[in-house]
């Protein structure tokens, strides 16, 4: 049985201060979990712990029942893909960005990733760094999907976007769970959380609770 991400008694410290304390939750495959809370509540920090861009002071994170500390970081970050709030576009075209760090990229896989991110082949020759914020967000998501991940982490995917673009991103996020992925979305946008999430976890500094 594919279980997705399981977090148990996670504590994260910044110096002497606990950013998160004794946090436990599940993010199963085929579901969207929203992490909500004000800025500084630890949402981005938590996402970084889930693919070992940051290390907790205590507790465990498992992916499909396997402790992520047993997985090489480079491998883990393909399996648990993080799409940052302000994704970096590499020099070159959208096609170049999708193929980055891959030995080869099958056209069918590439086109499926584009479609899942709400894009089409017409974007491939476009200069990646000339894209709008919403287009960059979708290209970053497509880039993550080309790696065939087990989980997708999205950090404030609708931040600074106009309402129409934010709605497109929301629809895209909601559809990701149909790919049998564990999907975790960190957001302060309650409308987004309510529209896409199967469950919500509210972070309040070093505390958390189901919402």
Q: What is the pTM (predicted TM-score) of this model?
A: 0.91
Per-residue model confidence as pLDDT tens digits over 127-143:
999 999 999 999 999 99
pLDDT of residue 205: 66
pLDDT of residue 1: 53
Topology given in CATH for the domain delimited by 29-52+72-202: Rossmann fold (3.40.50)
- The number of helix segments (H) and strand segments (E) in the chain equals 7, 10
Domain ranges of the chain: 29-52+72-202
Per-residue model confidence as pLDDT tens digits over 163-173:
888 898 899 99
Low-confidence ranges of the chain (pLDDT < 50): none
In terms of Cβ atoms closer than 10 Å to its own Cβ (0-12, 13-18, 19+), residue 28 is: middle
Task: Count Cα atoms within 13 angstroms, Cβ side, for 34.
Answer: 24
């Amino acid at each position: 049985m594919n279980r997705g991400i399981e977090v148990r008694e996670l504590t994260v410290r910044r110096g002497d201060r606990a950013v998160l304390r004794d946090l436990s939750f599940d993010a199963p495959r085929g579901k969207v979990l929203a992490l909500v809370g004000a800025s500084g509540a630890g949402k981005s920090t938590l996402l970084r712990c889930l693919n070992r861009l940051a290390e907790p002071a205590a507790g465990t994170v498992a992916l499909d029942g396997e402790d992520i500390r047993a997985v090489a970081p480079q491998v883990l970050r393909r399996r648990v893909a993080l799409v940052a709030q302000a994704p970096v576009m590499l020099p070159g075209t959208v096609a170049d960005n999708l193929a980055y760090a891959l030995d080869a990229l099958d056209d069918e896989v590439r086109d499926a990733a584009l479609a899942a991110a709400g894009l089409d082949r017409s974007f491939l020759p476009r200069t990646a760094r000339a894209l709008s914020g919403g287009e960059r967000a979708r290209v970053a998501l497509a880039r993550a999907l080309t790696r065939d991940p087990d989980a997708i982490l999205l950090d404030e995917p609708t931040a600074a976007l106009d309402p129409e673009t934010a709605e497109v991103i929301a629809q895209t996020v909601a559809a990701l769970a149909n790919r049998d992925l564990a999907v975790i979305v960190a957001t302060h946008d309650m409308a987004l959380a309510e529209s896409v999430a199967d469950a919500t976890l509210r972070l309040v500094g070093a505390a958390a609770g189901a919402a």
